[in-house]
Amino acid sequence: MQAQILVTGPEKRPVFHLTNGQISYIIGITERAAIPEQLYFGAAIRPQAGYDFLIDRENRNGVLLFDQDPTSSLDYLGQEYPSYGHSDFRQPALQLTYPQGDQVTLLTYESYRILAHKEPLPGLPASFGRTPDDTMVLELHLKDEGSGLKVTLQYAIFSDVAAVTRSARLEQSGTETLWIDRAMSLALDLPDHDYDLIHFYGGWAHEMNLERQPLQHGIYQVSSLRGVTSAVQTPLIALARPQADEFQGQVLGFNLLYSGNFLSQTETALSGTTRVLLGIHPDLFRWELKPGHSFQTPEAVMVYSHNGLNGMSQAFHDFYRRHLIRRPASKALSPVLLNSWEGCYFNFDQDRLVSMAETAREMGIDLFVLDDGWFGHRDDDTTSLGDWRPDRRKLPEGISGLSHKIHALGLQFGLWIEPEMVNPGTPIWEEHPDWVIRVPGKSASPSRNQYVLDMGRPEVVTNLFDQLCRVLDGAGVDYIKWDMNRHLSELYSHALPASRQSELSHRYCLGVYQLYERLLERYPDILFESCSSGGQRFDAGMLYYAPQAWVSDNTDAVARLKIQYGTSMGYPLAAMGAHVSAVPNHQTGRVTSLALRSTVASFGTFGYELDPAQLTDAEKVRIKQDIADFKKLQPIVAKGCFYRLISPFDRPELCAWMAVSKDRQQAYVAVFRLLEVMGQERTRIPLAGLDPALLYTVKGPWQSLTPRYGDNLMSAGLILAGNKRDASRQPDGQRGDFAVYTFMLEAVAQA
């Protein structure tokens, strides 16, 4: 069904019903105070003339908005954009300071506008329509009592996905300066709190660990004040009914399209209501809003599923793939790459790189990526960030010389950069000490020997853009890995007055986005992959600029099961940078089969990160076959529906997942058995997402000659045998610990 915005009710107090046949989002305007009221978000409900049954107006004690009206306490009202200062004592979406020092705001409804086209948000990532008629936008125009501030709440609904996006724009049309202390992107008041909260924690090399806990009364928040979203906590959260699991039950998913300090929060308050807030973290944030100026919040997205967590993830995946990620047309599917980092670290010259690329070409790799170490005098991580001139000792013909050699082999060429950073001793450091984020007269903390440039300054963005253009112009670079290897500390911008220092973190993020946008405009064919010591900036904001992101510096296939499982909760497989690396693994020291490493990476962008010179001939043959196999199933992984079947968080010894093509004609299943135990019991693994009535051939380690119907595969499932008596007879990767079994399902053409 087409996305629709239905407007009913009286002209001054309309009711807005956003629906697409899958979901409904309903907003009312309160009778007396004209406050936008949240009425419903969930499975689609049939449009009606009125929605009184969603309105709760019991008499309540408490602080009232109107004298003698016991229904007027805002503390109980489900609101669209609650503000601080009146009778709502929950955490607000909006908090302002006025010239006289008070912080009391009351926003009331003025008018609305419906648009059939979604405009980009200035300077920020923004979802978009794919076709001229697949998106509808509602704007609610609100005004503030007395100050001249106008607030526009924007909602978008899409025909083909169970998602609604939100953002807010603040415009000071009055004559006095205001200060924004908090302006969240999304506020959603839910009528009950019978949910589990799902969120993610981690750190370097152990990103996206899933935690699930019942929603308690009070406030629970995940957040970052590190200048990046980080892997410590991430903006992605979900509210799942307690009985919901991967396959069934109601789940609401929330995420922020932003890459800086964030807050994702739930608050269960009076009468058991739940308020969800997502936006820029209000700590370390204060924005001066002068007359005639406006402030745009980042966009947030919320999805609804009644098919459990898999349904939530599929909604997120479809939303990002169709309405957020901008891929260069020439790279609709990610090229299979060889990255030089774990293969040679800083230790290379042109000949070594070309020889790596030659072997890569023989194995069928598409893209050779030169990682860190190509610029300044960077032989280790102590020097040269900020000095983006090729190191002629290693690359006598520069980047374009190397790139031409790689292209001559028939490969694409990619390059690593870390533009936001600076090492002491570089020209930028010496000539522009005021471009570095640090406080005059106070000590500054290094991290990986580096410091952060003030990306909020336009001249810094321009300097980096110019330096990078000198490298990239005419060099035929096809791919860039944009890294960011430290968090922001000792916040201070030499370009801002004392009263506006709290704008720095957001300005920094806007500067990063601006540099991305300028590079994308000049080099529309370059595919960007974002990275931040692995997954420290794996967020929905970055996906707007970089269609893929390096999931983790931990390339160990066993560790990756959990990391990729967690990441898949909110992000599509085609965005998940995943490589086969050497064994013993450089992070964990673990030795696993090529079969396991290759299978885990094949549920991501798929690439290699090792020194091809160290491979045996047999391994090269195997890799060539793996790459050829991956190319056949890449469309299923990149464009299909992903189903998590068995969670490594629930059963540390077992994990299973599968991808099904959208037309359900093909599926690719992987079962990972991590620990071999004698006397192991059998496991039944029901599949998911198949067409019940279609007959499928199943090709796997134990081949069934009889094709099986989809319903049979989803109920009877695959039976994973207990341990084999004679392990030595099992093929590589299917015996002992860390075993992997893959299956290809193909619908049989029916007469």
> Which residue of 189, 267, 483, 529 would you call a contact of ligand GLA, by CB under 6 A?
483
Positions of E strands within 204-358: 209-214, 218-224, 237-240, 251-257, 262-268, 274-280, 287-289, 294-296, 299-305, 337-339
513 binds ligand GLA (CB under 6 A): no
Which string of b and e fits 300-339 if b means at least 16 CB within 10 Å? bbbbbbbbbbbbbbbbbbbbbbbbbbeebeebebbbbbbb
List 483, 556, 611, 626, catalytic entry: 483
CB 568 to ligand GLA: min, Å: 20
CB of 382 to ligand GLA, least distance (A): 12
If the CB atoms of residues 355 and 382 are measured against ligand GLA, the closer one turns out to be: 382
Q: Provide, rounded to whole angstroms, the least separation between the CB of residue 415 and ligand GLA.
A: 11
Strand 274-280 to 135-144 pairing: unpaired
The whole-angstrom separation of Cα 217 and Cα 80 is 21
In the complex, least distance from residue 368 CB atom to ligand GLA, rounded to whole angstroms:
15
The one-letter code for the residue type at 265 is Q
CA atoms within 13 A on the CB side of 479: 27
Cα dist from 741 to 671, 720, 723, 733, 735, whole Å: 5, 9, 13, 8, 10
By beta-carbon proximity to ligand GLA, the closer residue of 344 and 504 is 344
CB nearer ligand GLA, residue 448 or residue 735: 448
The least CB distance from residue 721 to ligand GLA, in Å, is: 38
Which range touches ligand GLA (CB under 6 A), out of 272-280, 531-539, 610-618, 684-692?
Answer: 531-539
For residue 83, what are the β-bridge partners?
Answer: 94
Pick one of 195, 254, 262, 341: the residue that binds ligand GLA (CB under 6 A): 341
Position with the least CB separation from ligand GLA: 372
What angle, rounded to 10 degrees, do the helices at 617-639 and 594-602 form?
A: 20
Calpha distance 450→489 (Å, rounded): 12
CB of 532 to ligand GLA, least distance (A): 7
| Smallest distance, ligand GLA to C-beta of residue 554, A | 10
Question: What mask of x and - would describe binding to ligand GLA in positions 417 to 456, judged by CB under 6 A?
Answer: ----------------------------------------
Q: Identify which of residues 40 and 550 has a Cβ nearer to ligand GLA in the complex.
A: 550
Q: Two tokens at 506?
A: 């957001």
DSSP output for 417-451: E-TTEE-TTSHHHHH-GGGB---TTS----BTTBE
Catalytic status, residue 483 = yes
Q: Rule CB under 6 A: is residue 416 a binding residue for ligand GLA?
A: yes
Chosen residue from 36, 534, 607, 648 binding ligand GLA by CB under 6 A: 534
Query: Which of 80, 267, 372, 539 is in the footprint of ligand GLA by CB under 6 A?
Result: 372
Report the residue count for the chain.
751
C-beta of 506 vs 560, nearer to ligand GLA: 560
Q: How far apart, in Å, are the Cα atoms of 398 and each of 62, 350, 390, 395?
A: 71, 9, 6, 5
Peptide bond into 584 cis (omega under 30): yes
Cα dihedral across residues 513, 524, 568, 722: positive or negative: negative
Alpha carbons 392 and 403: distance in angstroms, whole number: 14
∠ Cα 665 671 676 (to 5°): 160
Cβ closest to ligand GLA, residue 160 vs residue 371? 371
Question: Strand, coil or helix: what is 260?
Answer: coil
Nearest approach in angstroms of CB 536 to ligand GLA is 8
Tell me the per-residue interface mask from 25 to 54 with ligand GLA, x by CB under 6 A, - otherwise. ------------------------------
Which residue of 144, 366, 371, 478 would you call a contact of ligand GLA, by CB under 6 A? 371
Q: Are 549 and 577 in contact (CB under 8 A)?
A: yes
Which stretch, 16-24, 237-245, 527-535, 600-608, contacts ligand GLA (CB under 6 A)?
527-535
* 529 near ligand GLA, rule: CB under 6 A: no
Instruction: Pull the structure tokens for residue 58.
Output: 């019991």
Give catalytic status of residue 102 as yes or no. no
Q: Which is nearer to ligand GLA, 231 or 365 (CB)?
A: 231
The residue range among 296-304, 399-407, 529-537, 615-623 that interacts with ligand GLA, by the rule CB under 6 A, is 529-537
Is 620 within 8 Å of 359 (Cβ atoms)? yes
* Contact flag: residue 553 with ligand GLA (CB under 6 A): yes
Question: What is the spatial distance between Cα 301 and Cα 127, in angstroms, rounded to a whole number?
Answer: 9
**Secondary structure of residue 550 in the 3-state scheme:** strand
If binding is defined by CB under 6 A, does position 531 make contact with ligand GLA?
yes
Q: Which of 553, 556, 611, 626 is catalytic?
A: 553
Within 10 angstroms of residue 355's Cβ, the number of other Cβ atoms is 14
Does residue 368 bind ligand GLA (CB under 6 A)?
Answer: no
Residue 556 touches ligand GLA, criterion: CB under 6 A: no
Q: Which residues are catalytic?
A: 483, 553
Binding site residues, ligand GLA, CB under 6 A:
341, 371-372, 416, 483, 485, 531, 533-534, 550, 553
